[in-house]
Amino acid sequence: MRTALAAILVLTATALPLSSDGNCDSAYIRFMDHLGETAVAQNGHRLAHWHRRGLRIFYACDSGHLQQPEALFRDLEKQIADL
């Protein structure tokens, strides 16, 4: 019984997100809003590329490997604007 209870406790603790920071969410939402404004000028492949890059930054931040995603999102937005 104790083993099963301990296993459930460990499983529950590891299933919860380690860093569900609102900072990651808000930075990603701002990036997506900006990307939505420039999406008309992008073709499908290029737009998918920017989405994937934004998601990589978001996932790195959400997992706790990146503390301040705003700078990376700003750099990505500059790259989009330069096209």
Reported as a single tens digit per residue, the pLDDT across 29-62 is 999 988 888 776 678 888 889 999 999 999 999 9
Summary mean pLDDT of the chain: 80
User: Of the ranges 20-24, 45-49, 72-76, which one carries the lowest mean pLDDT score?
Assistant: 20-24
The verdict on pTM exceeding 0.85 is no
Q: What are phi and psi of 63, to 5 degrees?
A: -85, -5
Give the CA count within 13 Å in the CB-facing half-sphere of 47: 12
pLDDT for the residue numbered 6: 59
Q: Which of the two residues, 17 and 75, has the higher pLDDT score? A: 75
3: phi then psi, degrees, rounded to nearest 5: -65, -45
